[in-house]
Amino acid sequence: MHAIQTTFSLLYVIRKHRLLKNGEASIYLRITVNGEVADITTKRSVRPEMWDQRRECSLGKLHRDKELNHYLETIKTRLYQIHREFEIDGKRITARALRDSFYGKDEDSKTLGDVYREHNKKCRALIGIDYSRSTVEKFDISLSHLIEYIQYQYGKDDILLSELSGQFVTDFDFYLKTVRKCQNNSSIKHLKNLKKVVRIALANDWIKKDPFFGIQFKHEETHVEFLTQEELERIMNKEFELPRLELVRDIFVFCSFTALTFIDVKNLTPDHLMKDNNGALWIRKPRQKTGNMSNIPVLSVTKKLIDKYKDHPECIKKGVLLPVLSNQKLNSYLKEIADLCGIKKKLTTHVARHTAATIVFLANNVSMENVAKILGHSSTKMTQHYAKVLDSSIMRDMATVEKCFAHSEQ
């Protein structure tokens, strides 16, 4: 049996797209083994115009340039030596293993990035089972921000789990808000994703202390945008010359009477329609995001839209109830619809869900428990968020007060 041939190469590269404050570019040594890549930070930098990529060195003639080039040669020599030691010892050679050996990590040492990547890999395998694709994509974004922070703060691509601390967490939060320009609630989402990975490390005894101990997250109240009944009726009654705007309007109205999100209405099929013992038609569908079941009565408005598009070529071809465009196109066309209808609010597909919860359901005395079932919420606590912003419910509750004082004035 022939031994598997290992391809191994080293290449110095500079990060031109992310310059340091002094205008210089960080220098990295790229290790490639059988197509797998791992970068080593040299903790050195050079002005981009002084870098010769072909020769992988600085073109400068000053003493510091000569010293830099000598230092880079030393690192390469050390990597070749490590590679040779791996071959002699019969160790499995990977780019990451060579990098870890250079950093002086034990073979069994766990890094934060490795544990996070493994977590995301497992979640990706569970798409459609325990996770939606969008949720896993958010995990990947959080990991990307974390690695960028480590590079920014520590000048390397990863850190050992043993290096985690409360200071690391608070500095990461500060980085997200200042450098990445994340809003408070967005920053908290990335921190909560990190906390999920830290819990895995704690459960496996890879770390002894919880870096999140004593750290509390405080969500800021978000503004829920929704249409008034008059605005919704204005959109419903508007005549559109362009078929694409009529289609987008119909999808928006459908979501305004079902509270379905974009992804759920896009994946809605005839199989999600069912009749109860009284012959009433219902939409029964698990939410793509959480898996919680939504139980939605099909109102006459909704039924007309289903019938309107049942013979549409896209619906027949894909086996869906509505020919839903991409979310980007829907939101783009909704801006046009808002302009044509004289509505100043920023219309999105999610505004339709908010409108359903507030104006269509809660404002018409549908109970909190039933609205939670329609929305697919696991508890009424999530639904109460919509009730807080509904002025009409406040006015309804204050009607008795008004009558009392109006009577006393007479």
Asked whether residue 391 falls in the same domain as residue 251, the answer is yes
Phi-psi category of 319—alpha, beta or left, where left has phi over 0 and alpha has psi -120 to 50? left
Asked whether residue 88 falls in the same domain as residue 167, the answer is no
Asked whether residue 350 falls in the same domain as residue 319, the answer is yes
Pairing mode, strands 273-275 and 51-52: unpaired
Query: What integer pLDDT is reported at residue 401 of this predicted model?
Result: 63
Query: What integer pLDDT is reported at residue 25 of this predicted model?
Result: 92
Identify whether 274 is part of a domain.
yes
Asked whether residue 156 falls in the same domain as residue 26, the answer is no
Asked whether residue 306 falls in the same domain as residue 384, the answer is yes
Query: What integer pLDDT is reported at residue 261 of this predicted model?
Result: 86
User: Tens of pLDDT along the chain (410 residues)?
Assistant: 344 567 899 999 998 888 888 899 999 999 999 988 999 989 899 999 999 999 999 999 999 999 999 999 999 999 999 999 988 888 888 888 898 888 876 544 678 998 999 999 999 999 878 787 888 999 999 999 999 999 999 888 888 888 899 999 999 999 999 999 998 989 999 999 999 999 999 998 888 899 999 988 887 666 667 888 899 999 999 999 999 999 999 999 999 998 888 888 999 999 999 988 888 899 988 877 666 778 888 999 999 999 999 999 999 999 999 999 998 899 999 999 999 999 999 888 888 888 888 878 877 777 777 777 777 776 666 656 555 555 555 555 666 666 666 555 55
Asked whether residue 130 falls in the same domain as residue 29, the answer is no
Asked whether residue 274 falls in the same domain as residue 389, the answer is yes
Using the CB atoms, write b or e for 294-322: b if 16+ within 10 Å.
Answer: bebebeeebeebbeebeeeeebeeeebbb
Identify whether 222 is part of a domain.
no
CB within 8 Å of 143: residues ≥ 6 apart? 113, 116, 117, 120, 193
- Angle (CA) 105 107 108, round 5°: 105
Identify whether 407 is part of a domain.
no
What beta strand segments (E) does 237-393 contain? 273-275, 281-286, 293-297
Identify whether 246 is part of a domain.
yes
3-state secondary structure of 12: strand
Asked whether residue 338 falls in the same domain as residue 371, the answer is yes
Query: What integer pLDDT is reported at residue 1 of this predicted model?
Result: 38
Pairing mode, strands 51-52 and 57-58: antiparallel
Domain end (from 102, 121, 154): 102
| Distance, CA of 402 to chain centre | 47
Asked whether residue 235 falls in the same domain as residue 384, the answer is yes
Query: What integer pLDDT is reported at residue 379 of this predicted model?
Result: 62
Question: Residue 269 has which token pair?
Answer: 């099929």
Identify whether 290 is part of a domain.
yes
Residue 70 has phi, psi (to 5 degrees) of -65, -40
Pairing mode, strands 57-58 and 293-297: unpaired
Number of domains into which the chain is organized: 3
Asked whether residue 255 falls in the same domain as residue 353, the answer is yes
Asked whether residue 246 falls in the same domain as residue 307, the answer is yes
Q: How many CB atoms lie within 10 A of CB 52?
A: 13
Q: Which domain holds residue 349?
A: 229-397
Asked whether residue 68 falls in the same domain as residue 167, the answer is no
Identify whether 404 is part of a domain.
no
